[in-house]
Amino acid sequence: MAEPKEIPLMEKIVSLCKRRGFIFQSSEIYGGINGFWDYGPLGAELKRNVKELWWNTMSRQRDDVVGLEATIIMSPQIWKASGHVDTFADMMRECPLTKKRVRADQVEPQGGTAYCFSGAEMQIDEFMDLLSEEILEAVKKGDAEEAKRKHELFKSLREKEKLESGRFDELDQQSQSFKEIAKFLSQVESPRAQAIASQLYQAIKEGWRKHYRTNEPVAVLLRSGEHPESARKKARQFYEALGYFVPKLEEDRTEPIQDSTDFHPESGVKLSPARPFNLMFKTYVGPVESEDNVAYLRPETAQAIFAQFKNVLDSSRVKVPFGIAQIGKAFRNEVTPRNYTFRSREFEQMELEFFIKPDEVVEAIAGHVATAAEAFGVPPSGGSGPAKAGTPNEPQPDWGWQAWHKYWVEERIKFYEGIGLPRTTLVEYWQKPEELAHYARATVDILFKFPFSKRDEKGELMGEELEGVAARSDFDLSQHERFSGKPMGVFDEELRAAWGELDDAKKSGLSKRYYDARLKYLTKTGVEQAKAEKEAKEDADGLAKGQYIPHVIEPSAGVERLILALLCNAYYEDTMPDEKGKPETRVVMKFHPRVAPIKVGVLPLLKNKPDLVKKALEVRDLLRPHMNVFYDDAGAIGRRYRRQDEAGTPFCVTIDFDTLGEKGPELKDTVTLRHRDDGRQDRVRIADLLSLLNERIG
């Protein structure tokens, strides 16, 4: 990977992506839309290759995985059952001044001096001046007749000298006249007029005395060098936004602050307490925008797989253990989309839900459950650190969830290696118990060392999540069974037969373990104790009849994150001699040939020599049915090579006069095959070209 991997490198990558048509900002001509990205001609090819490789590896090349393509909008019941309606939220804190939100866990610690204000008093005289100004503004703007009348009314109120600050009773007595003025101002198209109107309404409703002052505290953090007046200005703006016009501040105290995450990073104003903010995009199905018609854009593809589990099982010749794979769009209203495409609001997931037998069932059938250590020769949780090479075996009938989990972590890392992300760029991170999602027994995040990742104390990149491999137990199928009322269990003839062979002690031991697990799930999800015990007993009794709800291992990867990892990993700058032999800096995207958007560039040496062009077109047409070919006849050959280097094309084929046999019959129908990474050039026969390229592209 190129060195050094730091922010300037990210900028170079972002700029290359736009210049060469990998990634564009969505709706760019209208200023863009935060968190949404489009993929240009090269990006679209790269994405397609990645998805196809995932699909082939995870489904087509396996006997135990089948595919699914479900809709993006599904019954909202699915999201209630999955827990997304209630719990798919980020904890957010808000700046009370700017209303900007930040994720509670992403505020960088700051220090300085906090200026703390304990409240403010509205200055009635100044407020009345503002009111007068605003009415005069309205006179100037248009609706002159009405405005003039209101101004007269207001003047007469003031002339009677009844509106002095502190004489709240008299202000209260004028509420009818103020109501009239408030109504008028609320119709004027000016934010300030409307703010004053709402202030007036509030004062009329609550009584001026009550509304005159507030005890709402606010604190503003000043970093060194900032003037205290800027804290007061922000505090005044805060109280004005609450409706206390021209507020007189009650300044309490100053406080030294160190490493605090309580202040907004931009405004410096003390943040509100953390509150949950649901990340699902809401919409309405049908013409009526009512609560009954609410639907959500799916935040993950996984739930459709669980909801269609029975249909897939009944319509395909699959038996547990087996998996269902799906690739598709997912949407999350991320609060802070960041790091280019890393956290987007619209993205694609490649998810496999791999259904396995519960450990009790494995033990009943196979006699014992192999631990991950037995299955792989390594402990199930190797702790966090560089991805280690395990010794992945062929799946065995005695594998329990831990062995299957480890197996999928290994399979996924092998997949990444196979498309050009070396193990040294990946980190296998075992989530700590307190980090696990409510449904997970264990989760391994496969991290990639993105240039923007944090660094550890040794200065090493720590990596950011590329994929999560979660052991989700039987949570999802159980939830859908409870919410839909449709059975999600399977019948397993092997279990029924094996159960009959077990001795009583074994039967009751396994039943008890299964009962305990089911009871734990049912009570945790809020089922009342007596009902939970009854249902858990029925589930445990089901084992003897060969029935159980499968458990799930879920490798879940994001397409965009993988594309970004491939782009970061591929970016290199090096020097190569130009046509005249002078060293020249070039940018080269060293994509693995499997993912490269263009596999081969076909280049006639000169475009004004019909024989060369004819031959080059023949070569293009020979290769095109088998791979993505780019034909380029424009410019000097060295420049054309550089263009293909930037696009990440691993091979270029040049058709020259030798190809036409002009320098002797032995070179006739041979071409130059140029290798992107080291610039090496081989002479190869056109007849061998296809098989040679196919072999290298893999």
- The contact set with ligand GAP (CB under 6 A) reads 300, 302, 332, 334, 343-344, 347, 349, 351, 465-468, 554, 556-558, 560-561
CB-based contact 472:300 (threshold 8 Å): no
Number of residues written out for the chain = 698
Q: How many CB atoms lie within 10 A of CB 594?
A: 17
As a whole number of angstroms, the distance between CA 235 and CA 246 comes to 11
- Alpha-carbon distance 145 to 228, whole Å? 46
CB of 456 to ligand GAP, least distance (A): 21
Minimal distance, residue 167 CB to ligand GAP, in Å: 57
Are 222 and 116 contacting, i.e. CB atoms less than 8 angstroms apart?
Answer: no
Judged by beta carbon, residue 349 or residue 654, the one nearer ligand GAP is 349
Q: Residue written as tokens 């800096």?
A: 585
Q: Which helix (H) or strand (E) holds 600?
A: strand 600-604
To the nearest whole angstrom, how small is the minimum distance from the Cβ of residue 550 to ligand GAP?
Answer: 17
Least spacing, CB of residue 344 vs ligand GAP, in Å: 4
Name the amino acid, one letter, at 528. E
| Residue whose C-alpha is closest to residue 543's, from 574, 515, 571 | 515
Find the shortest distance in angstroms from Cβ 334 to ligand GAP: 5
Tokens of 263: 């202040």
CB 443, min distance to ligand GAP, A: 8
Rounded to an integer, what distance in angstroms lies between the CA atom of residue 531 and that of residue 523?
9
Find the shortest distance in angstroms from Cβ 597 to ligand GAP: 20
- In the complex with ligand GAP, the residue whose CB is nearer, 332 or 642, is 332
Question: Strand 651-655 and strand 600-604: pairing?
Answer: parallel
Supply the minimum distance, in Å, between the C-beta of residue 472 and ligand GAP: 8
Encoded tokens for 232? 């007061």
Query: Going by C-beta distance under 8 Å and a sequence separation of 6 or more, which residues neighbour residue 442?
Result: 380, 381, 402, 405, 430, 431, 436, 470, 471
Contacts of 109 (CB under 8 A, 6+ apart): 259, 260, 261
What 37-42 contacts at long range (C-beta under 8 Å, 24+ apart), as own/partner pairs, is: 37/340, 37/341, 37/344, 37/560, 39/563, 41/597, 42/597, 42/598, 42/647, 42/648
By beta-carbon proximity to ligand GAP, the closer residue of 332 and 640 is 332
Minimum Å gap between C-beta 552 and ligand GAP is 10
Contact 222, 113 (CB under 8 A): yes
The smaller minimum CB distance to ligand GAP, of residues 112 and 558, is found at 558
d(CA 22, CA 39): 6
Residue closest to 131 by CA, chosen among 147, 165, 149, 154: 154
Residue of 569, 590, 564, 568 whose CA lies nearest to 647: 590
Q: Please tell me the distance from the alpha carbon of residue 454 to that of residue 429, in angstroms, as a whole number.
A: 14
- Closest CB to ligand GAP among residues 532, 563: 563
Q: Which of 673, 650, 676 is nearest to 419 (CA)?
A: 650
Minimum separation from the CB atom of position 466 to ligand GAP (A): 6
Tell me the C-alpha distance between 604 and 410, whole Å: 45
CA distance 130 to 247: 13
Q: Write down the H helix ranges in 464-503.
A: 475-484, 493-501
Q: Shortest approach of ligand GAP to residue 438 CB, angstroms?
A: 12
- State the nearest-atom distance from the C-beta of 70 to ligand GAP, in Å: 13
Q: Which residue minimizes CB distance to ligand GAP?
A: 558
Q: Which is nearer to ligand GAP, 329 or 368 (CB)?
A: 329
Select 417 or 465, whichever has its Cβ closest to ligand GAP: 465
What is the closest distance, in whole angstroms, from the C-beta atom of residue 559 to ligand GAP in the complex? 8
Nearer to ligand GAP by C-beta: 351 or 359? Answer: 351
Cβ distance to ligand GAP smaller for residue 337 or 382? 337
